[in-house]
């Protein structure tokens, strides 16, 4: 039964991320879902969470933004997850060791901002260090689909397994950073598009003023704009430009076009408008970065 519920939970999370995006609200996870008339919750007061319908092994582990524990990633692609409290034999810590022994897949919820989490699954407990009060966790599809085993660690397959793990964890850390950037930026703009004021969070993106792979492309609020998806796309290809004094410009050839209402109301009528700015001035877009980007826009036009 528990294996069935875990598999259902994975499918349920996939459905929720299609609806809400990668970052899920805590209330949704606390409410969970019904499976054969039994409620299954995915998070709770403890970071190591076991719903009532489960026996010994938890369904999830959680890191929060303001929690008492400092969870971190190692260079070889593992998550260091802290035990609960200082007693290695607390029932939650014993449950983590049981998850390792049975190779049971768990869900990892990483707190991005308060009460919002990126869900990563399946994850596996690889090692336990009771004296140091932590375990190591792998986000590794090789273990998830049976193409590797715990016994292979330290064998001739160690190098390939390590390469897979590093690749997957690098991708996961990138998701964490990008999700944190999105949440911070959209929250700074009060959950609305800075150009059209659309308030549907699921239709909003955090657009980089300077792309993250370039110099000055840090994932900070001042390098971001909360934009709906169509305005994000238009900004990325320099159909929309934003000057250092927060004036909005539309590329000349687009202004001369004649098309349907989307072109007119969605783009052309933004010409000479002012950007909708965050309430806090410290979160306003960095003018030096806007100047760099606006110069690129003018050259494109």
Q: What is the pLDDT of residues 269-284, one digit of tens each?
A: 999 999 999 999 999 9
Answer yes or no: are the C-beta atoms of 285 and 207 closer than 8 Å: no
Apex CA 217: angle with CA 220 and CA 178, to 5°?
A: 55
DSSP annotation of 160 reads H
| pLDDT at residue 149 tops 70 | no
Amino acid 71: pLDDT: 67
Q: Mean pLDDT, to the nearest integer, of 116-131?
A: 90
Torsion angle, alpha carbons of 222, 228, 230, 232, to 10 = 10
- Cα 109 to Cα 63, 176, 212, 216, 291, distances in angstroms: 6, 11, 25, 30, 38
Q: What is the pLDDT of residues 54-96, one digit of tens each?
A: 999 999 999 887 666 666 777 766 889 999 999 999 999 999 9
Domain ranges of the chain: 2-184, 190-300
Read off the pLDDT of each residue in 124-129 and give the average, rounded to a whole number: 91
More confident: 140 or 43: 43
Copy the structure tokens of residue 259: 């098309």
The answer to which of 74-83, 163-172, 207-216, 287-296 has the lowest mean pLDDT is 163-172
Tell me which H or E stretch contains 96: helix 91-102
pLDDT for the residue numbered 150: 41
Per-residue pLDDT at 97 = 95
* pLDDT higher than 50, residue 135: yes
Whole-number pLDDT of residue 300 = 84
Please name which of 9, 5, 15 lies closest in space to residue 36, comparing C-alpha atoms.
5
Could you give the angle at the alpha carbon of 108 between the alpha carbons of 31 and 146, nearest 5°? 120
Mean pLDDT of the chain: 87
Give the tens place of pLDDT for each residue, 176-234.
778 889 999 999 999 999 999 999 988 999 999 999 888 888 989 999 999 999 999 99
3-state secondary structure 97-110: HHHHHHCCCEEEEE
pTM above 0.85, yes or no: no
pLDDT at residue 168, as a whole number: 66
Asked if the peptide bond before residue 122 counts as cis, ω within 30 degrees of 0, the response is: yes
CATH classification of 2-184, choosing from 2.30.240, 2.130.10, 2.30.280, 3.30.519?
2.30.280
Is 80 exceeded by the pLDDT of residue 171?
A: no
Please check whether residue 228 is in contact with residue 196, taking contact to mean a CB–CB distance below 8 angstroms.
Answer: yes
Higher pLDDT, 16 or 138: 16
**Does position 138 have pLDDT exceeding 90, yes or no?**
no
Question: At residue 153, does pLDDT exceed 50?
Answer: no
Tell me what pLDDT residue 140 has: 57
């Amino acid at each position: 039964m528990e294996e069935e519920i875990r598999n259902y939970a994975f499918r349920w999370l996939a459905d929720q991320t299609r609806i809400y995006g990668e970052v899920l609200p805590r209330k949704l996870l606390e409410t969970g879902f019904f499976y054969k008339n039994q409620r299954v919750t995915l998070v709770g007061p403890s970071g190591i969470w076991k719903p009532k319908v489960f026996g010994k092994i938890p369904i999830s582990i959680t890191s929060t933004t303001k929690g008492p524990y400092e969870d971190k990633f190692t260079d070889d692609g593992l998550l260091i997850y802290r035990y609960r409290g200082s007693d290695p034999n607390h029932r939650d810590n014993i449950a983590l060791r049981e998850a390792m022994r049975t190779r049971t897949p768990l869900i990892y919820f990483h707190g991005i901002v308060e009460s919002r989490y990126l869900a990563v699954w399946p994850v596996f407990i690889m090692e336990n260090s009771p004296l140091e009060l932590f375990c190591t966790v792998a986000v590794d599809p090789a273990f998830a689909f049976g193409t590797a085993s715990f016994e292979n660690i330290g064998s001739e397959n160690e190098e390939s397994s390590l390469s897979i793990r590093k690749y997957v964890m690098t991708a996961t850390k990138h998701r964490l950073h990008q999700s944190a950037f999105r949440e911070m930026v959209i929250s700074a703009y009060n959950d609305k598009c800075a150009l059209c004021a659309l308030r549907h969070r699921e239709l909003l993106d955090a657009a980089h003023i300077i792309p993250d792979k370039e110099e000055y492309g840090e994932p900070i609020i001042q390098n971001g704009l909360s934009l709906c998806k169509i305005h994000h796309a238009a900004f990325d290809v320099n159909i929309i430009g934003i000057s250092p004094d927060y004036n909005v410009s539309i590329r000349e050839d687009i202004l001369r076009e004649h098309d349907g209402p989307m072109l007119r109301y969605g783009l052309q009528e933004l010409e000479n408008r002012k950007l909708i700015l965050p309430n806090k001035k410290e979160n306003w877009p960095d003018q030096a970065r806007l100047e760099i980007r606006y110069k690129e826009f003018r050259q494109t036009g």
